[in-house]
């Protein structure tokens, strides 16, 4: 029997070593020492991995703490993941909180919740509703940020199409929202793109071809090439046509 035929199943609480498996299923509380390679990994509960994880599909219903890097074709998160290293995924599906100490590289990064990346985040498509913090640069062909819950902080944003809007709260949550700030905004240094639409954004510099500065924005300098529009409820200190 080859290595890939092996399965790893944890029910309850267990300490086990890593290795190569076909399917890994954790129900309960597992501590895995070393690296883990598998086709499919599902966590129902809590998993602590001391090394790296490489999986075709990695589904977390609960919490996972990974000391190394995570690489997967699909990462689906319904809960919380903490990654000390880097994360690489073709499809990163967020429903909860993802905290990454390194870089995140993805094809499509989408969903809602909280995403904190200490360094860079690079993707083809980045579409997140919630609160996003990126220590360095967010770079994607298309950036869609729907501000919700709390302020988002991203040092630099680059892309072809960049849309930043405040998310509409679902009616069912209105009685809760009385106690939460509904004034989420994006704080950033620089935004550069072709087509840019911003709401509730504080930025030092916005550069692009076609730029619309919507309500609630406070921008230091706008540099535009083709067109520029500004909402009456926005502040732009300086604008230049390039």
Q: What is the mean pLDDT of the chain?
A: 93
Which among 91, 103, 24, 7 has a CA at the least distance from the CA of 64? 24
> Both ends of the chain: CA-CA distance in Å?
66
Q: Which two tokens stand for residue 41?
A: 């990994």
Confidence of residue 167 (pLDDT cuts 50, 70, 90): confident
Any domain includes 234: yes
User: How many other C-beta atoms lie within 10 A of the C-beta of residue 218?
Assistant: 16
- pTM for this entry: 0.93
Q: What is the pLDDT of residues 134-149, one digit of tens each?
A: 999 999 999 999 999 8
Any domain includes 137: yes
Task: Reply yes or no on whether the pLDDT at 172 is more than 70.
Answer: no
Q: What is the pLDDT of residues 82-103, one digit of tens each?
A: 999 999 999 999 999 999 999 9
H-helix or E-strand containing 101? none
H-helix or E-strand containing 175? helix 174-177
Q: Helix, strand or coil for residue 6?
A: coil
| Structural domain harbouring 150 | 103-167+183-241
Any domain includes 148: yes
Q: What is the pLDDT of residue 196?
A: 98
Any domain includes 74: no
Any domain includes 11: no
Any domain includes 29: no
Any domain includes 6: no
Any domain includes 201: yes
Q: How many domains does the chain have?
A: 1
- Mean pLDDT, residues 18-28 taken together: 96
């Amino acid at each position: 029997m080859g290595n890939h035929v092996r399965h790893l199943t944890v029910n309850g609480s267990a300490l086990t070593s890593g290795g190569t498996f076909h399917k890994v299923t954790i129900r309960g509380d597992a501590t895995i020492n070393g690296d883990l390679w598998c086709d499919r990994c599902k966590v129902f509960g809590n998993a602590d991995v001391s090394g790296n994880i490489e999986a075709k599909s990695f589904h977390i219903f609960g919490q996972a703490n990974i000391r190394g890097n995570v690489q997967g074709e699909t990462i689906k998160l319904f809960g919380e993941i903490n990654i000390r290293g880097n994360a690489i995924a073709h499809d990163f599906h967020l429903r909860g909180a993802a905290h990454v100490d390194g870089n995140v590289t993805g094809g499509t990064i989408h969903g809602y919740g909280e995403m904190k990346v200490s360094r860079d985040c690079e993707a083809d498509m980045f579409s997140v509703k919630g609160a996003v913090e990126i220590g360095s640069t967010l770079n994607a062909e298309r950036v869609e940020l729907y501000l919700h819950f709390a302020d988002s902080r991203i040092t630099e944003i680059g892309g072809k199409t960049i849309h930043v809007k405040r998310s509409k709260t679902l009616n069912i949550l209105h009685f809760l929202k009385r106690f939460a700030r509904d004034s989420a905004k994006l704080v950033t240094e620089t935004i550069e793109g072709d087509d840019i639409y911003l709401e509730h954004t504080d930025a030092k510099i916005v550069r692009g071809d076609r730029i619309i500065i919507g309500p609630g924005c406070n921008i230091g300098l706008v540099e535009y090439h083709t067109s520029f529009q500004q909402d009456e409820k926005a502040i732009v200190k300086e604008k230049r046509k390039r």
